[in-house]
Structure 1
Amino acid sequence: MLVLSEMVMSSSCSVEPTWVVRLACALGIVLALFERSRSNKGQVIDAAMIDGVAYLSTFVTSRVKLWKTGPRGTNWIDGGAPFYNTYYTADGKCIALGAIEPQFYNAALKGLGFNKEERKELMSIQNDTTTWPGTKARFAELFKTKTRDEWLKVHR
């Protein structure tokens, strides 16, 4: 579970990563169906959380030095970055924002209603961790102005 704790956002609307087991199970089902189509024999699917964690932890642990430089909630992938976080919407639901690359961050900023000059400024400080708390607060305020469905229409 220690590895999973590195993958969970620190914001209050993050969810536990039970998708690890679901992903392993779905892959097992697909492979069992493939084998059945070839051999006409059934298969036993063994999907344990530890297997999924062991596989996925290679990604997380290989990037800890790059993405984790401070306490939880202050780094790129744990809810510290405003451009890679979850936010509450006007209807109390959550929306995830994952805009690490400049072109996606610019599109997200445009969707949030920032004008060209504001986007230019925010993009110039995207990786400045000292600005993240203020930017996150601005994003949180903006996301609360519309329902999740309204935001999904904006960002399609």
Structure 2
Amino acid sequence: MLQGIRIVEIGQYIPSPYAALMLADLGAEVVKIEPPRGDPMRHIGVVSKDGASASYAAMNGGKRVVRVDLKDKNGQKAVQDLVEKADVLIESMRPGVLDRLGLGRDLLQRINPRLIHCAISGFGQNGPLRLRPGHDLNYMAAGGGLGLSGTLERPVMARPPVSDYASALQAALTISAALFQRSRTGRGAYIDISMAEVVLAWQAPLLSEALANSSVRRAEDADSGGLASYNIYRTSEGRYVTLGAEEPHFWERFCTAVERPEWIERGSEPAPQMSLIRDLADLFASRDAAHWDSLLAEGDCCFQIVLEPNEVLAFEQFAERKMIRRSDWGAVDVLYPAWIDGAPPEPREPFVELPEAALGTIWA
């Protein structure tokens, strides 16, 4: 879909790399610019013999990677020349950093008026917190993603980091829209994405509910653990299972399957349903996960065991959909999460690292 689109990526960790990865999966050519020591994600987790971690390899499949010292004038000029030939620039630097590195917004617009420049930052390019450093936990806290998530005792952090992936997807979506706009107008675009605001955008229903009912608290509403029918339970051997039988017909099927017809009417009790939750907790704790999977997995009542990583890799549904590929270079590739025109996602090639001298020949 994006064959022929050229993307320069300047960023690290997850937000800009994952945005570029999604666009590369759709056919775009991506050149990733890293500092001389490389993206710090190279060293997170198990590092393979080529010096890159499995996490880094999975996040950068199919890209050409060049290490450039952007504090050096020659390095700046080489990247300027590359951006001049690009369709898209994705970067996740703190506001103002690219200006200091010779790649400021005014210069980029002058050398390439058709460029779609997408800047991902923690709080956006303006406002009183524009320069405040942070990571996913901070942006989730500011945007409302933690306030109503977790247990009654405390918020609980998510894994993987929500704001990182959410802002990457927001970037890929908006870049795609900008490419469509450019096809009609010939003009590029400047996209300013705040990771905290992407989290905020996901909170509109919860914020509306909180405005209408100031007593809303964590683990008390329908989607955060306040319902017995939508909850996580521990089994006899210490594993966990999920029940998502929110709708009355799913709840009735569950109660029938576990031979507790007297619970059907209790499903409409107001949240938090602490007494009913304790009853279900006792039920699930009485047998192991395999028993409940045998009884409920095909019972059409929204049941699923909490899978461990090795079980996710072997999950038959993902295998049938050809979503997971174990690469030859030490990574697990979870491929583009969509079938297009009846075809599964294409496998990714490994990233290729090139010397800085190759920059001038990439799109010559």
TM-score by length of structure 2 reads: 0.32
Deviation at 1:149, TM superposition (A): 7.1
Secondary structure of residue in 1 paired with 2:227: coil
Secondary structure of residue in 1 paired with 2:267: coil
C-alpha distance in structure 2 between counterparts of 1:23 and 1:109, whole Å = 36
Deviation at 1:114, TM superposition (A): 1.5
Deviation at 1:142, TM superposition (A): 5.8
Seen in structure 2, the aligned counterparts of structure 1 residues 51 and 106 have a Cα distance that, compared at 3 Å, is: same
| Counterpart for residue 54 of structure 1 | 200
Q: State, as a whole percentage, how many aligned pairs show the same letter.
A: 16
Q: Which aligned pairs between 1:117-132 and structure 2 lie closer than 5 A?
A: 118-119=260-261, 121-128=262-269, 129=273, 131-132=275-276
Structure holding more strand per residue: 2
Among 155, 164, 173, the alignment partner of 1:30 is 173
Contact kept, 8 Å, 1:67 with 1:75, in 2: the verdict is no
RMSD between superposed Cα atoms in Å: 4.0
Contact kept, 8 Å, 2:170 with 2:198, in 1: the verdict is no
User: Is the aligned partner of 1:138 residue 2:309?
Assistant: no
Contact kept, 8 Å, 2:234 with 2:285, in 1: the verdict is no
Deviation at 1:102, TM superposition (A): 0.5
C-alpha distance in structure 2 between counterparts of 1:142 and 1:66, whole Å = 40
| Counterpart for residue 98 of structure 1 | 244
C-alpha distance in structure 1 between counterparts of 2:244 and 2:214, whole Å = 17
| Counterpart for residue 64 of structure 1 | 210
Seen in structure 2, the aligned counterparts of structure 1 residues 122 and 149 have a Cα distance that, compared at 3 Å, is: closer
Q: Which aligned pairs between 1:10-21 and structure 2 lie closer than 5 A?
A: 10=151, 16=158, 18-21=161-164
Residues 93-142 of structure 1: per-residue CA shift (max 9 Å, x gap): 544322222122223445xx323xx23x2120113335334233135426
Seen in structure 2, the aligned counterparts of structure 1 residues 70 and 34 have a Cα distance that, compared at 3 Å, is: closer
C-alpha distance in structure 2 between counterparts of 1:78 and 1:140, whole Å = 19
C-alpha distance in structure 2 between counterparts of 1:87 and 1:62, whole Å = 29
Structure holding more helix per residue: 1
Deviation at 1:150, TM superposition (A): 5.8
Residue 232 of structure 2 aligns with an amino acid whose one-letter code is T
| Counterpart for residue 83 of structure 1 | 229
- Larger deviation: 132-141 or 55-64? 132-141
Contact kept, 8 Å, 1:105 with 1:123, in 2: the verdict is yes
Deviation at 1:67, TM superposition (A): 8.0
Aligned length: 149
Residue 80 of structure 1 aligns with an amino acid whose one-letter code is G
Residue 126 of structure 1 aligns with an amino acid whose one-letter code is G
Secondary structure of residue in 2 paired with 1:126: helix
C-alpha distance in structure 1 between counterparts of 2:246 and 2:205, whole Å = 17
User: Is the aligned partner of 1:4 residue 2:148?
Assistant: no
C-alpha distance in structure 2 between counterparts of 1:68 and 1:77, whole Å = 17
Contact kept, 8 Å, 2:237 with 2:289, in 1: the verdict is no
TM-score by length of structure 1 reads: 0.64
C-alpha distance in structure 2 between counterparts of 1:137 and 1:153, whole Å = 18
Residue 233 of structure 2 aligns with an amino acid whose one-letter code is Y
Deviation at 1:37, TM superposition (A): 4.8
Secondary structure of residue in 1 paired with 2:281: helix
Deviation at 1:63, TM superposition (A): 1.8
Seen in structure 2, the aligned counterparts of structure 1 residues 61 and 24 have a Cα distance that, compared at 3 Å, is: same
Unpaired stretches in structure 1, ≥5 consecutive residues: none
Seen in structure 2, the aligned counterparts of structure 1 residues 7 and 130 have a Cα distance that, compared at 3 Å, is: closer
Deviation at 1:7, TM superposition (A): 4.0
C-alpha distance in structure 2 between counterparts of 1:155 and 1:96, whole Å = 14
| Counterpart for residue 107 of structure 1 | 253
Larger radius of gyration: 2
